[in-house]
Amino acid sequence: METKNKSRLANTLHLLWKLVRYNMRIIFANRFIWFFLASLGFFIFISINSTLNGDNLDEEMVYYTLIFPGILLVFYPMSFGIQNDVDAGILEILFGIPDYRYKVWLVRMILVFILVFLIMCVYSFLATIFLTRINILEMTYQVMYPILFIGCLSFMFSSLIKNGYGTMAVMVILGVILMIISEDLVENTQWDVFLNPFNIPRNLNETIWEGITVKNRVFLSVSSLIFLLYGLFNLQKRERFI
């Protein structure tokens, strides 16, 4: 009996691994290694540049160093995922699966964010070795909020535009607008998409800042959920994609 249970567990894990690999190949269209290398190169470039410029090597700097490589990792699969399905000719098949939005794309998005989380943990570990000592899990946890927000926003627009390059253009414009708004209008408020929880303003005490950070994380989480559900709802409109 014990041998059979171990065999079943091994088979289940093997099938799960094959499922993950298959979906990752579709999501990244066999381009994952290039986006990973680009993200890693971006991380190394920002780290070296910050060090040479004499920036303070603290948690605040590490947060900014991690956020953009993370966004780069999540940007392609969320922007081009639907187009990749159309190009591969499997979208028609997926529409035939009951509860398609929950069984396929939701699983894919979870896989992407888990993968990005693990890579961010690696980057945080590298930052601890080469830059400054940080809490790896805390840093990764915090940096995932804006990454989740941008990823779900990209997915929502991809379900509306249905073209990866069009989604990319819209997201680049929106990204610039969000950065301008974050710096000039809502900096260090609960509405700041790129709020850095490790950058405590001098005119605020830690208790007030902690409250702002919690509200900001709630705002990003709720917004991400809305973007995700709206994108999944759009995918039910078969006639728009076929």
What's the mean per-residue pLDDT of the chain? 80
Q: What is the pLDDT of residue 237?
A: 65
Match 């990005």 to its residue by tokens: 116
Q: 71, exposed or middle or buried, with CB in 10 Å at 0-12, 13-18, 19+?
A: buried
| Better-scored residue on pLDDT, 107 or 173 | 173
Q: What is the pLDDT of residue 5?
A: 59
User: Model's pTM, two decimal places?
Assistant: 0.84
Q: In terms of Cα–Cα distance, which of 94, 47, 100 is closest to 69?
A: 47
Q: What is the pLDDT of residue 57?
A: 73
When mean pLDDT is compared across 2-6, 9-13, 225-229, 238-242, the lowest value belongs to 238-242
Read off the tokens for 52.
Answer: 């040479």
Read off the tokens for 217.
Answer: 């994380």
Report the C-alpha gap between 106 and 112 in whole angstroms.
10
pLDDT bin (cut points 50, 70, 90) of residue 42 is confident
Q: What is the pLDDT of residue 102?
A: 57
Domain count, the chain: 1
Q: In terms of Cα–Cα distance, which of 140, 139, 148 is closest to 113?
A: 148
Over residues 25-49, mean pLDDT: 78
pLDDT bin (cut points 50, 70, 90) of residue 215 is very high
pLDDT digits (tens, 9 = 90+) for 67-89: 988 888 888 788 777 666 665 55
Q: How many residues does the chain have?
A: 242
Backbone angles phi, psi at 160, to 5 degrees: -90, -45
Query: How would you label 142-163 residue by residue, b for 16+ Cβ within 10 Å and e otherwise?
Result: bbbbbbbbbbbbbbbbbbebeb
Neighbours of 8 (CB within 10 A): 10
Over residues 159-187, mean pLDDT: 82
Assign residue 55 a region (left: φ > 0; alpha: ψ between -120 and 50; beta: otherwise).
Answer: beta
In the chain, DSSP finds a helix count (H) and a strand count (E) of 9, 0
pLDDT bin (cut points 50, 70, 90) of residue 223 is very high
pLDDT bin (cut points 50, 70, 90) of residue 143 is very high
Report the C-alpha gap between 116 and 121 in whole angstroms.
9
| Better-scored residue on pLDDT, 173 or 183 | 173
Contact partners, residue 134, CB within 8 Å, separation at least 6: 59, 62, 124, 127, 128
For residue 224, give its domain range: 2-240
